[in-house]
Amino acid sequence: MFKFSYFLEMIPKIFLKLDVTLTLTLISIFFALIIGTLLAVVIYYKVKVLDKLAYVYISIMRGTPIVAQLYFFYFGVAIYSNVVRDMSPMTAVAIVISLNVGAFMAESIRAALLSVDEGQKEAAYSLGMSNMQLVTRIIIPQAMRVAIPPLFNDVINIIKLSSLSFMVGVIDIMGAAKMEGAKSFRYFEIYAAVMIVYWVVIFVFDLLRKYLEKKCAAAF
């Protein structure tokens, strides 16, 4: 039978590990954006050789399970690399999530760049704009409005993927829930509390998305 008092008791205990989840999430978002932007630019401008490599990378990251990628990196690569072997579990998870989600962000950013009408680029050149002016005044403002919704889907995905970190020993929200579950065996209440905590975090990020969309619409 559902024990509501235990459910309420679990929520603050799980929230105590929110800092670990948020730290992992923010680090992963930062590096995934860098990776995604670089890949998108390489493909958009059709940089010789690099664009083909970028397509292969994106295909591998999107076409294989992230759990397999995490285990391959943390347990497999560690056999041959002292750097990975001595790496903290949290760092390893952040690297894998960044590499994985960066591939998805690349496609979101590339689609946003392609959404800018070619006629506007030609008009900008006819007015004597440089490539830098074209990018900063025409491409980026319009691409940002298109990119924000799919990029925030990727951000939400990162938040949820951070729950994989407990699989390699990081005590995040899921790790705390697993430890509490091992003590009480009241998994229904515990994981209901976990879902509430994740929902609150994602709800806050969704409010941020709406705010940024309004700012972009007003600015551009």
The whole-model pTM stands at 0.90
Half-sphere exposure of 74 (CA within 13 A, CB side): 23
The encoded tokens of residue 210 equal 């709406």
- Polymer length in residues for the chain: 220
Residue 60 has a pLDDT of 97
pLDDT tens for residues 43-73? 988 899 999 999 999 999 999 999 999 999 9
pLDDT tens for residues 87-110? 999 999 999 999 999 999 999 999
- pLDDT over threshold 70, residue 147: yes
- Indicate the burial class of 91 (C-beta count within 10 angstroms; 0-12, 13-18, 19 or more): middle
Amino acid (one-letter) located at 213 = E
* Class level of CATH domain 4-219: mainly alpha
CA distance 75 to 94: 15
Q: How confident is the model at residue 219 (pLDDT cuts 50, 70, 90)?
A: low
CA distance 110 to 37: 8
CA distance 27 to 22: 8
pLDDT tens for residues 17-48? 999 999 999 999 999 999 999 999 999 888 99
**What is the residue-averaged pLDDT of the chain?**
91
CA angle 31, 146, 151 (to 5 degrees): 30
CA distance 44 to 115: 11
Question: Looking up tokens 């083909």, which residue turns up?
Answer: 52
CA distance 104 to 122: 29
Interaxial angle between packed helices 89-114 and 140-161, expressed in degrees from 0 to 180 and rounded to the nearest 10: 150
Domain positions in the chain are: 4-219
